A and B are shown apart, each in its own frame.
Chain A
Amino acid sequence: MTAEKKERKEPSFYEVKKHRGIFAWILSTDHKRIGLLYLYSMMTFFSGAAILGLLMKLELIAPGPTIMTARTYNGFFTLHGIIMIFLIVIPGLPAVFGNFMLPIMIGARDVAFPRLNLFSWYIYITGAIIVLSSQFTGGGPPDTGWTFYAPYSFKTSTNMLPAVLGAFTLGFASILTGLNFIVTIHRMRAPGMTWMKMPLFPWTLYGTAWIQLLATPIVGITLLMTIGERVLHIGFFDPALGGDPVLYQHLFWIYSHPAVYIMILPAMGVISEILPTFAQKTIYGYKAIIASTIAIAFVGYFVWGHHMFVSGISNTALFVFSILTFLVAIPSGVKVFNWISTIYKGSISLRTPFFWAVSFIFVFMIGGLTGLVLGSLATNVHVHDTHFVVAHFHFIVFGGVGFAFMGALHYWFPKIYGRMFDEYWANLGWLIFFIGFLTLYFPMFILGIAGMPRRYFDYLPQFHGWNVVSSLGAIVTIMGLIIIIFNLFRSARIGAPAPKNPWGGRTLEWTVDSPPSLENFEEIPVISKGPYDYK
């Protein structure tokens, strides 16, 4: 420890404080502190929403009302969806690891607009408070699901306003973060770091930032219109007044489908960082990964209609949307091939982040391929709004983004906290979580094909068996989560001190101290080589 202390010239960013106590955090414009603020707020929300998920699975362990009424169940899946989507997976990777790592990885001292960055966090928290206040005020918790579909969203007597308004506010935080990242990446790269020498995580953040910027305003205005419907009875989406509910679905999914790529692109970036490090081999097809990132971000705009195959849109539109949906699968496939080729013949070290990355590829493949089942017209009609859909997007969102998030957390943990985590418990936690995850969601595919609809608190007796399996899986998953989080908490306090570069990574963040100093770099490095320069 003393040797380590002597080695560093600058104190770590934890030790430099402008304000006292909690104000050192909530008034700091340092990108690293803001990233951690996001991390801690998200952890809090996540544990709440995960418990809601567990309770829902317990409800489904037997037919009929088990532990809650239908109304509570409706409220639960709505809140679970809103928190998980708007508060965790959409901002998740960009806000936490993007904030913390992006400036370091491109060789900058901070993001382009540090104060705007802190301001985004305040907007985020305000939005979160507004959303959560919907539970305790007015006519009971919202029960529309996170999609707020019209006309139910303005007909229900429950407390929709705060939920919608909160989601609207969160959109602003998302837009500002995206804007900040675009400017940072354009203007603040270290000298010599050309676009084609930028690591892949910043590249995916760049693609994400554009989606955040271009898609979020549409959902913003849609949610505002929903508020207008409820408060002023304008009739945009009310058939009784001449409006069209299907138009709501169009506007909503114009944002919310690209939002899926806001979630998954940074996750792909994280995987593209972890794999070369643990295979000690340069990434296979660097340019192909960048091209596929941009292709996903671009094509992702034009596929929103595949959420609406049974909503009554024209046959031509159905056909076009289905084709475009299949097109998105191509760049995703390119990425998977690149990842596999990266570890092929590499000198692999089996460490925790590597396990997360490989299991990411596994669940992402299942999630992606079942996405094609949903994207083709005929099969979609059969499985639409069944548990098949639930299983599919949990494989992508929880399996994809969640696994990548965990991978990123373990990968950069030594950098963030300056301490190593206990790998035995981390690996055990991963194994339990992975097994639990598959047991939890895989039966849902079978249930969905058998015809069990989503969003019901009850089901027919013939679905009982697989539901029991799934609910047991939920318990195992939560156990795994507890082990992982507890281990990380413990390691952050008493883990062995981490060296600068514990995994042998080649990107810039491994050249600075762990934890980094306030200014990140004593001297801004000059880049002359590509990001994954292994022998």
Chain B
Amino acid sequence: MWLFIFTELLLFAGLFIVYATYRYKNWQAFHLAAKELNTFIGALNTVILLTSSATIAMSITAIQQKRKILAMVLMGITMAVGVVFLVNKYFEWGLKIQHGLYPGSQTLLEFGKGEVLFFGLYFFMTGLHALHIIVGLIFIGFVFVYVIRNRITFDNYVLLENAGLYWHLVDIIWIFLFPLFYLIT
């Protein structure tokens, strides 16, 4: 699982390289474009994800202490909070698209090339990240069912731990995405 997480990080590393290259070339445009993003929603989402990481970590501890119900509640919170993150993301994207700021749009083409790249990267990277959130939610959902059926118990919780690891990965990628897109103004 650690190795798999490593490959996931490398997947995003490719995107970070692209980001770095284009930011180096168009730093002014990136600076201006980042102002378009709502730092409040971004920060909110950061808090949300960090909370969910904490709850999933707590659920692992709960399982270790044989407190099944508590573990399930904590996993439930994680999933609920993950969904809230996606809802936030939906509104954020929706607003951008309403303003005509999406790849290939007419409004965006009227801006400079730097803005085009910034929003292209923004949608692509946060989109891929959202996809990982969805995968993570499904993963935790399966683990949740397993816990109900007692397939995961205090002495056999590797799967839950892996789900937790995956969720932390999703979290840590966001920790990098957040400053790169929201805080560089």
Chain B, residues 8-22, CB within 8 Å of chain A (1/0): the string is: 101111110110011
Chain B residues near A232: list those with CB within 8 A.
Answer: 103-104, 120, 123-124
| Given A217-B10, A228-B124, CB of A235 within 8 Å of CB of B117 | yes
| Given A213-B6, A217-B7, A242-B113, CB of A234 within 8 Å of CB of B18 | no
CA–CA, A303 and B104, complex, Å: 35
Contact: A179 with B4, CB < 8 Å? yes
CA–CA, A40 and B15, complex, Å: 37
* Interchain CB contact (< 8 A) of A234 among B3, B10, B21, B124: B124
CA–CA, A251 and B11, complex, Å: 11
Contact: B120 with A234, CB < 8 Å? yes
Q: Any chain B CB within 8 A of the CB of A214?
A: yes
Within 8 A of B (CB), among A53-96: none
Contact: B128 with A224, CB < 8 Å? yes
CA–CA, A183 and B2, complex, Å: 11
Q: How far is the CB of B160 from chain A (nearest CB, A)?
A: 18
Contact: B3 with A213, CB < 8 Å? yes
Q: Any chain B CB within 8 A of the CB of A385?
A: no
Q: Which residue of B lies closest to A212 (CB)?
A: B7
* Interchain CB contact (< 8 A) of B7 among A175, A234, A242, A243: A175
Q: How far is the CB of A181 from chain B (nearest CB, A)?
A: 11
Q: Point out which of B10, B112, B114 has the most chain A C-beta atoms below 10 A from its C-beta.
A: B10
Q: Any chain B CB within 8 A of the CB of A233?
A: yes
Chain B residues near A225: list those with CB within 8 A.
Answer: 14-15, 18, 124
Q: Any chain A CB within 8 A of the CB of B140?
A: no
Within 8 A of A (CB), among B12-57: 12-15, 17-18, 21-22, 25-26
* Interchain CB contact (< 8 A) of B104 among A218, A233, A247: A233
Q: Any chain B CB within 8 A of the CB of A241?
A: yes
Chain A, residues 229-248, CB within 8 Å of chain B (1/0): the string is: 00011111000011110010
* Interchain CB contact (< 8 A) of B10 among A183, A218, A236: A218
Q: Which residue of B lies closest to A251 (CB)?
A: B14
CA–CA, A6 and B109, complex, Å: 78
Q: Any chain A CB within 8 A of the CB of B63?
A: no
Contact: A218 with B13, CB < 8 Å? yes
Q: How far is the CB of A454 from chain B (nearest CB, A)?
A: 28
Q: Any chain B CB within 8 A of the CB of A479?
A: no
User: Majority SS of interface residues in chain B?
Assistant: helix
Chain B residues near A221: list those with CB within 8 A.
Answer: 11-12, 14-15
Chain B residues near A235: list those with CB within 8 A.
Answer: 103, 113, 116-117, 120
- How many residues from A make CB contacts under 8 Å with B? 27
Q: How far is the CB of B33 from chain A (nearest CB, A)?
A: 12
Chain A residues near B3: list those with CB within 8 A.
Answer: 179, 182-183, 213
Q: Any chain B CB within 8 A of the CB of A162?
A: no
Chain A residues near B7: list those with CB within 8 A.
Answer: 175, 179, 213-214, 216-217
CA–CA, A446 and B22, complex, Å: 42
* Interchain CB contact (< 8 A) of A242 among B18, B116, B124: B116
Contact: B114 with A242, CB < 8 Å? yes
Contact: B10 with A251, CB < 8 Å? no
CA–CA, A251 and B22, complex, Å: 14
* Interchain CB contact (< 8 A) of A236 among B25, B104, B109, B117: B117
Chain A, residues 492-512, CB within 8 Å of chain B (1/0): the string is: 000000000000000000000
Q: Which residue of B lies closest to A214 (CB)?
A: B10
| Given A242-B113, A242-B117, CB of A218 within 8 Å of CB of B14 | yes
| Given A220-B11, A221-B11, CB of A251 within 8 Å of CB of B114 | no
CA–CA, A254 and B10, complex, Å: 12
Chain B residues near A216: list those with CB within 8 A.
Answer: 7
30 sampled A-B residue pairs with Cβ under 8 A? A175-B4, A179-B7, A213-B6, A217-B8, A217-B13, A218-B11, A220-B11, A221-B11, A224-B128, A225-B18, A228-B103, A232-B120, A233-B104, A234-B121, A234-B124, A235-B103, A236-B120, A236-B121, A241-B113, A241-B116, A241-B120, A242-B22, A242-B113, A242-B114, A242-B116, A243-B117, A244-B25, A247-B18, A251-B14, A251-B17
By a beta-carbon cutoff of 8 Å, the part of chain A in contact with chain B is 175, 179, 182-183, 213-214, 216-218, 220-222, 224-225, 228, 232-236, 241-244, 247, 251, 254
